[in-house]
Amino acid sequence: MRALRLVQFGEDPVLQDVPEPVAGPGEVIVRIGGSGLSCARA
């Protein structure tokens, strides 16, 4: 699975491969169909 992660404050997000999440007892996994990110720079 790929994730856009904020690794360091003030830096650009990084696209990384991450392991699939596993739900534990009493937890659920929600599949997100899409999202957005706006990075405005002054």
- Residues 6 or more apart whose CB falls under 8 angstroms from that of 29 comprise 21, 22, 23
Q: Considering the domain boundaries, does residue 35 fall inside one?
A: no
Q: Considering the domain boundaries, does residue 13 fall inside one?
A: yes
Confidence of residue 36 (pLDDT cuts 50, 70, 90): confident
Average pLDDT over residues 19-41: 88
Q: Considering the domain boundaries, does residue 33 fall inside one?
A: no
Asked whether the predicted pLDDT for residue 10 surpasses 90, the reply is: no
Q: Considering the domain boundaries, does residue 8 fall inside one?
A: yes
Tokens of 3: 């994730």
CA dist list (Å): 5 to 24, 27, 33:
23, 22, 17
Structural domain of 7: 1-26
Three-state DSSP class for residue 15? strand
Q: Considering the domain boundaries, does residue 42 fall inside one?
A: no
pLDDT cut 70: percent of the chain above it: 90
Q: Considering the domain boundaries, does residue 32 fall inside one?
A: no
Count the domains in the chain.
1
Q: What is the pLDDT of residue 42?
A: 59
